[in-house]
Chain A
Amino acid sequence: MGMSNLQFLIIILLSPLLQGIIRKMKAYAQGRIGPGVLQPYWDLARLFRKDMVISEAASWIFHATPFIVFLSTMAASLMVPVTTPDAPVLAIGDIVALLYTLALGRFFLVLAGLDAGTAFGGEGSSREATVAILVEPMMMLAIFTAAVAGGSTKLSVISKSMHILDSPAHVLAFAAFFVALIADTGRIPVDNPDTHLELTMIHEGMVLEYSGRYLALLEWAHYMKQMLLFTIAIDLFFPYGIAGGALQSALFYAAKVLVLAAAVAATESSRAKLRFFQLPSLLGGAFVLSLLSLITFVMLGR
Protein backbone atom coordinates (compact mmCIF):
# COMPACT_ATOMS: atom_id res chain seq x y z
CA MET A 1 0.00 0.00 0.00
CA GLY A 2 3.08 2.22 0.05
CA MET A 3 2.38 3.40 -3.46
CA SER A 4 -1.19 4.44 -2.78
CA ASN A 5 -0.18 6.38 0.32
CA LEU A 6 2.50 8.33 -1.47
CA GLN A 7 0.64 9.08 -4.68
CA PHE A 8 -0.38 12.56 -3.50
CA LEU A 9 3.32 13.48 -3.72
CA ILE A 10 2.93 13.22 -7.49
CA ILE A 11 0.51 16.14 -7.41
CA ILE A 12 2.60 18.20 -5.01
CA LEU A 13 5.95 17.67 -6.71
CA LEU A 14 5.00 17.51 -10.37
CA SER A 15 2.40 20.31 -10.51
CA PRO A 16 4.97 23.04 -11.37
CA LEU A 17 6.20 20.76 -14.17
CA LEU A 18 2.63 20.53 -15.53
CA GLN A 19 2.41 24.33 -15.50
CA GLY A 20 5.73 24.49 -17.38
CA ILE A 21 4.48 21.98 -19.94
CA ILE A 22 1.26 23.93 -20.54
CA ARG A 23 3.28 27.14 -20.98
CA LYS A 24 5.60 25.38 -23.42
CA MET A 25 2.64 24.01 -25.43
CA LYS A 26 1.10 27.47 -25.52
CA ALA A 27 4.38 28.97 -26.67
CA TYR A 28 4.64 26.44 -29.50
CA ALA A 29 1.04 27.12 -30.52
CA GLN A 30 1.85 30.82 -30.72
CA GLY A 31 5.09 30.28 -32.66
CA ARG A 32 7.43 31.15 -29.79
CA ILE A 33 10.12 28.95 -28.23
CA GLY A 34 9.10 29.85 -24.69
CA PRO A 35 10.81 29.17 -21.35
CA GLY A 36 11.93 25.64 -20.45
CA VAL A 37 9.46 23.26 -18.82
CA LEU A 38 11.34 23.52 -15.51
CA GLN A 39 10.99 27.30 -15.30
CA PRO A 40 8.17 27.23 -12.65
CA TYR A 41 10.55 25.35 -10.31
CA TRP A 42 13.24 28.04 -10.73
CA ASP A 43 10.61 30.74 -10.18
CA LEU A 44 9.43 29.09 -6.97
CA ALA A 45 13.02 28.60 -5.75
CA ARG A 46 13.82 32.24 -6.45
CA LEU A 47 10.68 33.45 -4.66
CA PHE A 48 11.47 31.30 -1.62
CA ARG A 49 14.87 33.02 -1.31
CA LYS A 50 13.54 36.58 -1.62
CA ASP A 51 12.53 38.93 1.17
CA MET A 52 8.92 39.90 1.68
CA VAL A 53 7.35 43.33 1.58
CA ILE A 54 4.18 43.39 3.66
CA SER A 55 1.67 46.21 3.83
CA GLU A 56 1.28 47.91 7.19
CA ALA A 57 -2.48 47.63 6.90
CA ALA A 58 -2.33 43.84 6.66
CA SER A 59 -3.90 41.79 9.48
CA TRP A 60 -3.36 38.17 10.53
CA ILE A 61 -5.51 37.02 7.62
CA PHE A 62 -2.84 38.21 5.23
CA HIS A 63 -0.21 36.13 7.03
CA ALA A 64 -2.35 33.03 7.51
CA THR A 65 -3.77 32.84 3.99
CA PRO A 66 -0.72 31.42 2.14
CA PHE A 67 -0.51 28.55 4.63
CA ILE A 68 -4.27 27.90 4.63
CA VAL A 69 -4.39 27.89 0.83
CA PHE A 70 -1.36 25.65 0.52
CA LEU A 71 -2.43 23.22 3.23
CA SER A 72 -6.05 22.99 2.10
CA THR A 73 -4.91 22.20 -1.45
CA MET A 74 -2.52 19.62 -0.06
CA ALA A 75 -5.28 18.09 2.07
CA ALA A 76 -7.52 17.96 -1.00
CA SER A 77 -4.80 16.20 -2.97
CA LEU A 78 -4.71 13.51 -0.27
CA MET A 79 -8.28 12.55 -1.18
CA VAL A 80 -7.67 11.94 -4.87
CA PRO A 81 -6.75 8.63 -6.47
CA VAL A 82 -3.88 9.40 -8.84
CA THR A 83 -2.19 6.25 -10.09
CA THR A 84 -4.04 3.66 -8.02
CA PRO A 85 -7.78 3.66 -7.41
CA ASP A 86 -7.32 3.95 -3.66
CA ALA A 87 -6.75 7.43 -2.25
CA PRO A 88 -4.53 7.80 0.85
CA VAL A 89 -7.28 9.02 3.17
CA LEU A 90 -10.20 7.01 1.93
CA ALA A 91 -12.31 7.54 5.04
CA ILE A 92 -12.97 11.23 4.37
CA GLY A 93 -12.09 11.15 0.69
CA ASP A 94 -15.48 12.08 -0.66
CA ILE A 95 -15.69 14.33 -3.73
CA VAL A 96 -17.93 16.87 -1.97
CA ALA A 97 -15.50 17.13 0.95
CA LEU A 98 -12.69 17.55 -1.56
CA LEU A 99 -14.31 20.43 -3.45
CA TYR A 100 -15.22 22.29 -0.29
CA THR A 101 -11.73 21.84 1.13
CA LEU A 102 -10.58 23.64 -2.01
CA ALA A 103 -13.31 26.25 -1.47
CA LEU A 104 -11.89 26.96 2.00
CA GLY A 105 -8.60 28.01 0.41
CA ARG A 106 -10.44 30.13 -2.12
CA PHE A 107 -12.46 31.82 0.64
CA PHE A 108 -9.31 32.87 2.49
CA LEU A 109 -7.67 34.00 -0.73
CA VAL A 110 -10.65 36.29 -1.38
CA LEU A 111 -10.40 37.66 2.17
CA ALA A 112 -6.66 38.24 1.80
CA GLY A 113 -7.24 40.14 -1.44
CA LEU A 114 -9.51 42.52 0.49
CA ASP A 115 -7.27 42.60 3.54
CA ALA A 116 -4.41 44.73 2.28
CA GLY A 117 -6.88 47.42 1.33
CA THR A 118 -5.72 48.06 -2.23
CA ALA A 119 -8.16 48.71 -5.05
CA PHE A 120 -6.82 45.93 -7.27
CA GLY A 121 -6.99 43.35 -4.51
CA GLY A 122 -10.62 44.16 -3.84
CA GLU A 123 -11.40 44.08 -7.56
CA GLY A 124 -9.76 40.68 -7.93
CA SER A 125 -11.58 39.36 -4.87
CA SER A 126 -15.03 40.47 -5.98
CA ARG A 127 -14.48 38.99 -9.43
CA GLU A 128 -13.14 35.73 -8.03
CA ALA A 129 -16.20 35.44 -5.79
CA THR A 130 -18.54 36.08 -8.74
CA VAL A 131 -16.83 33.49 -10.92
CA ALA A 132 -16.81 31.01 -8.02
CA ILE A 133 -20.56 31.39 -7.53
CA LEU A 134 -21.16 30.69 -11.21
CA VAL A 135 -18.70 27.81 -11.46
CA GLU A 136 -19.51 25.89 -8.31
CA PRO A 137 -23.04 24.66 -9.12
CA MET A 138 -22.10 23.47 -12.59
CA MET A 139 -19.01 21.69 -11.31
CA MET A 140 -21.08 19.97 -8.63
CA LEU A 141 -23.76 18.96 -11.15
CA ALA A 142 -21.17 17.59 -13.58
CA ILE A 143 -19.63 15.63 -10.73
CA PHE A 144 -23.03 14.40 -9.55
CA THR A 145 -23.71 12.98 -13.01
CA ALA A 146 -20.56 10.89 -12.75
CA ALA A 147 -21.40 10.08 -9.12
CA VAL A 148 -24.91 8.89 -9.98
CA ALA A 149 -23.48 6.80 -12.81
CA GLY A 150 -20.80 5.36 -10.55
CA GLY A 151 -23.20 4.79 -7.67
CA SER A 152 -21.10 6.64 -5.12
CA THR A 153 -19.62 10.04 -4.32
CA LYS A 154 -16.27 8.45 -3.56
CA LEU A 155 -13.75 9.05 -6.31
CA SER A 156 -12.23 5.60 -5.85
CA VAL A 157 -15.54 3.84 -6.45
CA ILE A 158 -16.40 6.04 -9.44
CA SER A 159 -13.00 5.49 -11.03
CA LYS A 160 -13.28 1.72 -10.61
CA SER A 161 -16.77 1.59 -12.11
CA MET A 162 -16.17 2.98 -15.60
CA HIS A 163 -13.80 3.24 -18.54
CA ILE A 164 -13.74 6.25 -20.88
CA LEU A 165 -16.77 8.51 -21.27
CA ASP A 166 -19.19 5.61 -20.98
CA SER A 167 -22.42 7.39 -21.92
CA PRO A 168 -23.66 10.58 -23.61
CA ALA A 169 -24.30 12.00 -20.13
CA HIS A 170 -20.60 11.66 -19.36
CA VAL A 171 -19.65 13.54 -22.52
CA LEU A 172 -21.93 16.47 -21.59
CA ALA A 173 -20.75 16.40 -17.98
CA PHE A 174 -17.12 16.39 -19.11
CA ALA A 175 -17.74 19.38 -21.39
CA ALA A 176 -19.23 21.30 -18.45
CA PHE A 177 -16.41 20.17 -16.16
CA PHE A 178 -13.82 21.33 -18.68
CA VAL A 179 -15.31 24.83 -18.73
CA ALA A 180 -15.35 24.79 -14.92
CA LEU A 181 -11.71 23.66 -14.91
CA ILE A 182 -10.71 26.51 -17.22
CA ALA A 183 -12.58 29.03 -15.07
CA ASP A 184 -11.21 27.62 -11.82
CA THR A 185 -7.58 27.61 -12.94
CA GLY A 186 -7.88 31.17 -14.22
CA ARG A 187 -7.29 30.47 -17.89
CA ILE A 188 -8.06 32.47 -20.93
CA PRO A 189 -11.71 32.82 -21.80
CA VAL A 190 -12.23 33.68 -18.11
CA ASP A 191 -8.97 35.11 -16.79
CA ASN A 192 -5.56 35.76 -18.29
CA PRO A 193 -2.77 34.12 -16.25
CA ASP A 194 0.03 35.96 -18.06
CA THR A 195 -0.70 39.64 -17.51
CA HIS A 196 -0.95 42.09 -14.68
CA LEU A 197 -3.23 44.34 -16.67
CA GLU A 198 -5.30 46.10 -14.02
CA LEU A 199 -8.64 46.00 -15.74
CA THR A 200 -8.80 42.30 -16.51
CA MET A 201 -6.95 40.36 -13.86
CA ILE A 202 -8.77 38.11 -11.39
CA HIS A 203 -6.33 35.71 -9.72
CA GLU A 204 -3.34 37.99 -10.20
CA GLY A 205 -5.28 40.86 -8.65
CA MET A 206 -5.82 38.97 -5.41
CA VAL A 207 -2.18 37.96 -4.97
CA LEU A 208 -0.79 41.33 -6.10
CA GLU A 209 0.22 42.34 -2.56
CA TYR A 210 2.12 39.12 -1.91
CA SER A 211 5.86 38.69 -2.43
CA GLY A 212 8.66 36.32 -1.51
CA ARG A 213 7.84 33.11 0.35
CA TYR A 214 4.13 33.83 0.65
CA LEU A 215 3.80 34.38 -3.08
CA ALA A 216 5.75 31.17 -3.72
CA LEU A 217 3.32 29.21 -1.52
CA LEU A 218 0.29 30.75 -3.24
CA GLU A 219 1.67 30.11 -6.72
CA TRP A 220 2.58 26.54 -5.83
CA ALA A 221 -0.91 26.00 -4.39
CA HIS A 222 -2.36 27.35 -7.64
CA TYR A 223 -0.30 24.87 -9.69
CA MET A 224 -1.38 22.07 -7.36
CA LYS A 225 -5.02 23.02 -7.68
CA GLN A 226 -4.69 22.91 -11.46
CA MET A 227 -3.16 19.43 -11.41
CA LEU A 228 -5.73 18.34 -8.82
CA LEU A 229 -8.59 19.39 -11.10
CA PHE A 230 -6.95 17.57 -14.02
CA THR A 231 -6.71 14.46 -11.85
CA ILE A 232 -10.35 14.74 -10.77
CA ALA A 233 -11.39 15.04 -14.43
CA ILE A 234 -9.37 11.92 -15.24
CA ASP A 235 -10.79 9.97 -12.28
CA LEU A 236 -14.37 10.92 -13.11
CA PHE A 237 -14.39 10.66 -16.87
CA PHE A 238 -11.34 8.71 -18.14
CA PRO A 239 -10.26 6.35 -15.37
CA TYR A 240 -9.41 3.57 -17.86
CA GLY A 241 -6.12 1.88 -16.90
CA ILE A 242 -5.99 3.21 -13.34
CA ALA A 243 -6.33 -0.26 -11.82
CA GLY A 244 -3.40 -1.78 -13.70
CA GLY A 245 0.11 -2.29 -12.37
CA ALA A 246 2.03 0.67 -10.92
CA LEU A 247 4.07 1.39 -14.05
CA GLN A 248 1.16 0.91 -16.43
CA SER A 249 -1.21 3.15 -14.51
CA ALA A 250 1.49 5.81 -14.12
CA LEU A 251 2.03 5.80 -17.90
CA PHE A 252 -1.72 6.01 -18.52
CA TYR A 253 -1.99 8.87 -16.04
CA ALA A 254 0.87 10.80 -17.65
CA ALA A 255 -0.63 10.36 -21.13
CA LYS A 256 -4.06 11.53 -19.98
CA VAL A 257 -2.65 14.57 -18.16
CA LEU A 258 -0.68 15.51 -21.29
CA VAL A 259 -3.79 15.22 -23.48
CA LEU A 260 -5.79 17.43 -21.10
CA ALA A 261 -2.88 19.91 -20.93
CA ALA A 262 -2.84 20.05 -24.74
CA ALA A 263 -6.60 20.68 -24.75
CA VAL A 264 -6.20 23.52 -22.23
CA ALA A 265 -3.28 25.02 -24.17
CA ALA A 266 -5.25 24.79 -27.43
CA THR A 267 -8.26 26.51 -25.85
CA GLU A 268 -6.05 29.23 -24.47
CA SER A 269 -4.30 29.89 -27.75
CA SER A 270 -7.41 29.84 -29.92
CA ARG A 271 -9.77 31.92 -27.78
CA ALA A 272 -9.88 35.58 -26.87
CA LYS A 273 -10.48 36.58 -23.30
CA LEU A 274 -14.14 37.33 -22.70
CA ARG A 275 -15.30 40.60 -21.23
CA PHE A 276 -16.19 40.09 -17.59
CA PHE A 277 -19.87 40.77 -18.13
CA GLN A 278 -20.02 38.15 -20.89
CA LEU A 279 -18.84 35.45 -18.51
CA PRO A 280 -22.34 34.64 -17.20
CA SER A 281 -23.45 33.60 -20.68
CA LEU A 282 -20.44 31.25 -21.12
CA LEU A 283 -20.74 29.82 -17.63
CA GLY A 284 -24.54 29.77 -17.84
CA GLY A 285 -24.28 27.76 -21.06
CA ALA A 286 -21.95 25.32 -19.35
CA PHE A 287 -24.36 25.14 -16.42
CA VAL A 288 -27.17 24.12 -18.76
CA LEU A 289 -24.81 21.52 -20.25
CA SER A 290 -24.34 20.00 -16.82
CA LEU A 291 -28.10 20.11 -16.16
CA LEU A 292 -28.65 18.39 -19.51
CA SER A 293 -26.06 15.78 -18.64
CA LEU A 294 -27.98 14.87 -15.50
CA ILE A 295 -31.36 14.78 -17.27
CA THR A 296 -29.97 12.71 -20.16
CA PHE A 297 -28.55 10.30 -17.65
CA VAL A 298 -31.97 9.93 -16.05
CA MET A 299 -33.69 9.85 -19.44
CA LEU A 300 -31.45 7.26 -21.08
CA GLY A 301 -31.00 5.31 -17.87
CA ARG A 302 -27.26 4.97 -18.28
Chain B
Amino acid sequence: MPLIKRWIEIFGAIDFISVGMLLSVVAMSSSKRIESCLKAYVINSWLLALLMAAFAVYLSIPHLYIAAFFTIAGKCVLIPYFLRKVIGELKVTREVEPYLSTPVSLIISFALVVLVYSFIAGGIFVAGAARNVLKISVSIILISLFTMMNRKKAVTQVMGLLFMENGLFLAGFSLTYGMPTIIELGVLFDMMMGVMILGVFLTQIKKSFVSVDLDKLTSLKG
Protein backbone atom coordinates (compact mmCIF):
# COMPACT_ATOMS: atom_id res chain seq x y z
CA MET B 1 0.00 0.00 0.00
CA PRO B 2 2.61 2.65 0.88
CA LEU B 3 4.26 1.82 -2.44
CA ILE B 4 1.07 2.50 -4.41
CA LYS B 5 0.61 5.68 -2.38
CA ARG B 6 4.05 6.86 -3.45
CA TRP B 7 3.35 5.99 -7.09
CA ILE B 8 0.15 8.04 -7.02
CA GLU B 9 2.14 10.95 -5.69
CA ILE B 10 5.09 10.64 -8.07
CA PHE B 11 3.09 10.17 -11.25
CA GLY B 12 0.43 12.69 -10.28
CA ALA B 13 -2.22 10.03 -10.91
CA ILE B 14 -5.04 12.15 -9.52
CA ASP B 15 -4.33 14.95 -12.00
CA PHE B 16 -4.06 12.51 -14.90
CA ILE B 17 -7.32 10.74 -14.11
CA SER B 18 -9.30 13.94 -13.61
CA VAL B 19 -8.00 15.41 -16.87
CA GLY B 20 -9.03 12.15 -18.51
CA MET B 21 -12.55 12.69 -17.18
CA LEU B 22 -12.57 16.23 -18.58
CA LEU B 23 -11.41 14.90 -21.92
CA SER B 24 -14.16 12.28 -22.09
CA VAL B 25 -16.78 14.99 -21.45
CA VAL B 26 -15.32 17.12 -24.25
CA ALA B 27 -15.39 14.02 -26.48
CA MET B 28 -19.05 13.49 -25.57
CA SER B 29 -19.97 17.10 -26.30
CA SER B 30 -18.48 16.84 -29.79
CA SER B 31 -19.34 13.27 -30.83
CA LYS B 32 -21.89 12.68 -33.53
CA ARG B 33 -23.21 9.26 -32.54
CA ILE B 34 -25.29 8.25 -29.57
CA GLU B 35 -23.20 5.08 -29.28
CA SER B 36 -19.97 7.05 -28.85
CA CYS B 37 -21.64 9.30 -26.26
CA LEU B 38 -22.47 6.15 -24.32
CA LYS B 39 -18.90 4.88 -24.66
CA ALA B 40 -17.60 8.23 -23.40
CA TYR B 41 -19.94 7.90 -20.42
CA VAL B 42 -18.64 4.41 -19.60
CA ILE B 43 -15.05 5.65 -19.81
CA ASN B 44 -15.92 8.65 -17.66
CA SER B 45 -17.49 6.42 -15.02
CA TRP B 46 -14.52 4.04 -14.97
CA LEU B 47 -12.21 7.01 -14.49
CA LEU B 48 -14.45 8.28 -11.68
CA ALA B 49 -14.27 4.91 -9.95
CA LEU B 50 -10.51 4.81 -10.47
CA LEU B 51 -10.17 8.29 -9.00
CA MET B 52 -12.19 7.24 -5.95
CA ALA B 53 -9.95 4.23 -5.49
CA ALA B 54 -6.89 6.47 -5.84
CA PHE B 55 -8.28 8.83 -3.18
CA ALA B 56 -9.05 5.83 -0.97
CA VAL B 57 -5.46 4.63 -1.19
CA TYR B 58 -3.85 8.04 -1.06
CA LEU B 59 -5.78 9.39 1.90
CA SER B 60 -6.48 6.00 3.54
CA ILE B 61 -10.27 6.33 3.55
CA PRO B 62 -11.45 2.74 3.31
CA HIS B 63 -15.15 3.48 2.79
CA LEU B 64 -14.34 5.13 -0.56
CA TYR B 65 -13.56 1.62 -1.83
CA ILE B 66 -17.22 0.74 -1.32
CA ALA B 67 -18.30 3.88 -3.16
CA ALA B 68 -15.90 3.02 -6.01
CA PHE B 69 -17.31 -0.49 -6.18
CA PHE B 70 -20.90 0.76 -6.38
CA THR B 71 -19.89 3.33 -9.00
CA ILE B 72 -18.54 0.52 -11.15
CA ALA B 73 -21.62 -1.62 -10.61
CA GLY B 74 -24.08 1.21 -11.24
CA LYS B 75 -22.51 3.60 -13.68
CA CYS B 76 -20.20 1.34 -15.65
CA VAL B 77 -22.50 -1.67 -15.98
CA LEU B 78 -26.16 -1.18 -15.10
CA ILE B 79 -26.95 2.32 -16.42
CA PRO B 80 -25.17 1.80 -19.80
CA TYR B 81 -26.91 -1.57 -20.16
CA PHE B 82 -30.29 -0.01 -19.46
CA LEU B 83 -29.65 2.95 -21.78
CA ARG B 84 -28.58 0.63 -24.61
CA LYS B 85 -31.81 -1.27 -24.15
CA VAL B 86 -33.90 1.93 -24.23
CA ILE B 87 -32.07 3.18 -27.35
CA GLY B 88 -32.63 -0.20 -29.00
CA GLU B 89 -36.34 -0.18 -28.14
CA LEU B 90 -36.90 3.40 -29.26
CA LYS B 91 -35.23 2.71 -32.63
CA VAL B 92 -33.94 6.29 -32.68
CA THR B 93 -31.52 7.23 -35.44
CA ARG B 94 -27.90 7.07 -34.44
CA GLU B 95 -27.04 10.72 -35.02
CA VAL B 96 -27.37 13.10 -32.10
CA GLU B 97 -28.55 16.13 -34.11
CA PRO B 98 -27.02 19.06 -32.25
CA TYR B 99 -28.00 22.68 -32.88
CA LEU B 100 -24.38 23.82 -33.25
CA SER B 101 -21.69 22.24 -35.42
CA THR B 102 -18.91 20.14 -33.90
CA PRO B 103 -16.12 22.76 -34.11
CA VAL B 104 -18.33 25.44 -32.57
CA SER B 105 -19.38 23.20 -29.69
CA LEU B 106 -15.74 22.20 -29.13
CA ILE B 107 -14.72 25.85 -28.94
CA ILE B 108 -17.58 26.58 -26.52
CA SER B 109 -16.51 23.66 -24.31
CA PHE B 110 -13.01 25.08 -24.28
CA ALA B 111 -14.32 28.56 -23.47
CA LEU B 112 -16.26 27.09 -20.55
CA VAL B 113 -13.08 25.53 -19.15
CA VAL B 114 -11.30 28.88 -19.42
CA LEU B 115 -14.25 30.58 -17.74
CA VAL B 116 -14.24 28.13 -14.86
CA TYR B 117 -10.52 28.49 -14.44
CA SER B 118 -10.59 32.28 -14.44
CA PHE B 119 -13.40 32.37 -11.87
CA ILE B 120 -12.26 29.64 -9.52
CA ALA B 121 -8.52 30.30 -9.66
CA GLY B 122 -8.69 33.35 -7.44
CA GLY B 123 -11.80 32.64 -5.40
CA ILE B 124 -11.91 29.18 -3.93
CA PHE B 125 -8.78 27.59 -2.60
CA VAL B 126 -8.66 23.88 -1.93
CA ALA B 127 -5.54 22.42 -0.39
CA GLY B 128 -4.17 18.91 -0.60
CA ALA B 129 -4.65 16.19 -3.17
CA ALA B 130 -7.92 17.61 -4.50
CA ARG B 131 -6.66 21.11 -5.24
CA ASN B 132 -7.21 20.74 -8.99
CA VAL B 133 -10.17 18.38 -8.96
CA LEU B 134 -12.72 21.07 -8.09
CA LYS B 135 -11.92 23.17 -11.18
CA ILE B 136 -12.18 20.12 -13.39
CA SER B 137 -15.43 18.95 -11.86
CA VAL B 138 -17.07 22.36 -12.30
CA SER B 139 -15.88 22.36 -15.93
CA ILE B 140 -17.43 18.91 -16.38
CA ILE B 141 -20.74 20.13 -14.95
CA LEU B 142 -20.84 23.20 -17.19
CA ILE B 143 -19.84 21.34 -20.36
CA SER B 144 -22.50 18.70 -19.82
CA LEU B 145 -25.07 21.41 -19.12
CA PHE B 146 -24.10 23.04 -22.41
CA THR B 147 -24.40 19.68 -24.17
CA MET B 148 -27.90 19.22 -22.78
CA MET B 149 -28.89 22.58 -24.24
CA ASN B 150 -27.19 21.80 -27.54
CA ARG B 151 -28.91 18.49 -28.31
CA LYS B 152 -32.33 17.98 -29.79
CA LYS B 153 -32.97 14.40 -28.78
CA ALA B 154 -34.16 13.45 -25.33
CA VAL B 155 -31.79 10.45 -25.14
CA THR B 156 -28.71 12.61 -25.52
CA GLN B 157 -30.06 15.06 -22.97
CA VAL B 158 -30.32 12.20 -20.51
CA MET B 159 -26.68 11.47 -21.32
CA GLY B 160 -25.76 15.06 -20.50
CA LEU B 161 -27.59 14.73 -17.19
CA LEU B 162 -25.61 11.59 -16.35
CA PHE B 163 -22.32 13.32 -17.11
CA MET B 164 -23.39 16.24 -14.96
CA GLU B 165 -24.07 13.88 -12.09
CA ASN B 166 -20.59 12.38 -12.49
CA GLY B 167 -19.17 15.89 -12.26
CA LEU B 168 -21.20 16.63 -9.13
CA PHE B 169 -20.06 13.37 -7.57
CA LEU B 170 -16.47 14.27 -8.36
CA ALA B 171 -16.87 17.70 -6.76
CA GLY B 172 -18.62 16.15 -3.75
CA PHE B 173 -16.10 13.53 -2.80
CA SER B 174 -13.06 15.64 -3.62
CA LEU B 175 -14.25 18.47 -1.37
CA THR B 176 -15.42 16.34 1.52
CA TYR B 177 -12.98 13.42 1.05
CA GLY B 178 -15.87 11.03 0.92
CA MET B 179 -19.40 11.62 2.11
CA PRO B 180 -20.86 9.02 4.43
CA THR B 181 -21.39 5.79 2.53
CA ILE B 182 -25.14 5.88 3.05
CA ILE B 183 -25.38 9.22 1.22
CA GLU B 184 -23.25 7.98 -1.66
CA LEU B 185 -25.38 4.89 -1.95
CA GLY B 186 -28.50 7.05 -1.85
CA VAL B 187 -27.22 9.27 -4.65
CA LEU B 188 -26.35 6.25 -6.77
CA PHE B 189 -29.75 4.69 -6.16
CA ASP B 190 -31.48 7.98 -7.04
CA MET B 191 -29.50 8.08 -10.25
CA MET B 192 -30.55 4.56 -11.18
CA MET B 193 -34.18 5.38 -10.49
CA GLY B 194 -33.84 8.63 -12.46
CA VAL B 195 -32.49 6.84 -15.49
CA MET B 196 -35.26 4.24 -15.32
CA ILE B 197 -37.99 6.85 -15.00
CA LEU B 198 -36.47 8.83 -17.86
CA GLY B 199 -36.38 5.62 -19.91
CA VAL B 200 -40.10 5.07 -19.36
CA PHE B 201 -40.72 8.77 -20.01
CA LEU B 202 -38.81 8.59 -23.30
CA THR B 203 -40.86 5.61 -24.43
CA GLN B 204 -44.03 7.55 -23.64
CA ILE B 205 -42.84 10.62 -25.60
CA LYS B 206 -41.97 8.36 -28.50
CA LYS B 207 -45.39 6.69 -28.33
CA SER B 208 -47.42 9.91 -28.36
CA PHE B 209 -45.24 12.11 -30.59
CA VAL B 210 -43.64 9.43 -32.84
CA SER B 211 -40.24 11.14 -32.28
CA VAL B 212 -37.96 11.88 -29.33
CA ASP B 213 -36.98 15.21 -30.86
CA LEU B 214 -37.93 17.65 -28.12
CA ASP B 215 -38.49 20.50 -30.59
CA LYS B 216 -41.66 18.75 -31.67
CA LEU B 217 -43.07 19.04 -28.14
CA THR B 218 -43.62 22.75 -28.64
CA SER B 219 -46.22 22.27 -31.36
CA LEU B 220 -49.82 21.75 -30.24
CA LYS B 221 -51.49 18.45 -30.86
CA GLY B 222 -55.15 18.25 -31.74
B19 and A296 contacting across the interface, CB-CB below 8 Å = yes
How near does chain A come to B87, taking the closest CB pair, in angstroms? 24
Any B CB within 8 A of the CB of A80: no
Q: Which of B12, B16, B23, B132 contacts A292 (CB 8 A)?
A: B23
Known: A168-B19, A299-B117. A281 touches B102 (CB 8 A): yes
A168 and B16 contacting across the interface, CB-CB below 8 Å = yes
A172 and B19 contacting across the interface, CB-CB below 8 Å = yes
Any B CB within 8 A of the CB of A91: no
Q: Which of A172, A288, A295, A300 contacts B132 (CB 8 A)?
A: A300
Scan B7-23; emit 1 where CB is below 8 A from any A CB, else 0: 00000100110011011
Any A CB within 8 A of the CB of B107: yes
Interface size class of A (residues with CB under 8 A): 10 to 19
Q: Which of A167, A281, A298 contacts B15 (CB 8 A)?
A: A167
Scan A127-159; emit 1 where CB is below 8 A from any B CB, else 0: 000000000000000000000000000000000
A291 and B102 contacting across the interface, CB-CB below 8 Å = no
B26 and A292 contacting across the interface, CB-CB below 8 Å = yes
Chain A residues whose C-beta falls within 8 Å of the C-beta of B144 in the assembled complex: none
Chain A residues whose C-beta falls within 8 Å of the C-beta of B22 in the assembled complex: 292, 296
Any B CB within 8 A of the CB of A284: yes
Q: Which residue of A lies closest to B11 (CB)?
A: A166
Any B CB within 8 A of the CB of A117: no
A169–B30 CA distance with the chains assembled, in angstroms: 20
Any A CB within 8 A of the CB of B186: no
Q: Which of B12, B15, B16, B110 contacts A288 (CB 8 A)?
A: B110
Q: Which of A171, A172, A285 contacts B106 (CB 8 A)?
A: A285
Any B CB within 8 A of the CB of A50: no
B110 and A291 contacting across the interface, CB-CB below 8 Å = yes
How near does chain A come to B129, taking the closest CB pair, in angstroms? 12
B19 and A288 contacting across the interface, CB-CB below 8 Å = no
B16 and A302 contacting across the interface, CB-CB below 8 Å = no
Q: Which residue of B lies closest to A299 (CB)?
A: B117
Any B CB within 8 A of the CB of A244: no
- Show 25 A/B contacts (Cβ-Cβ < 8 Å), sorted by A: A167-B12, A168-B15, A168-B19, A168-B20, A171-B16, A284-B106, A285-B30, A288-B26, A288-B30, A288-B106, A292-B26, A292-B113, A295-B110, A295-B113, A295-B114, A295-B117, A296-B22, A299-B113, A299-B117, A299-B121, A299-B136, A300-B15, A300-B132, A301-B132, A302-B12
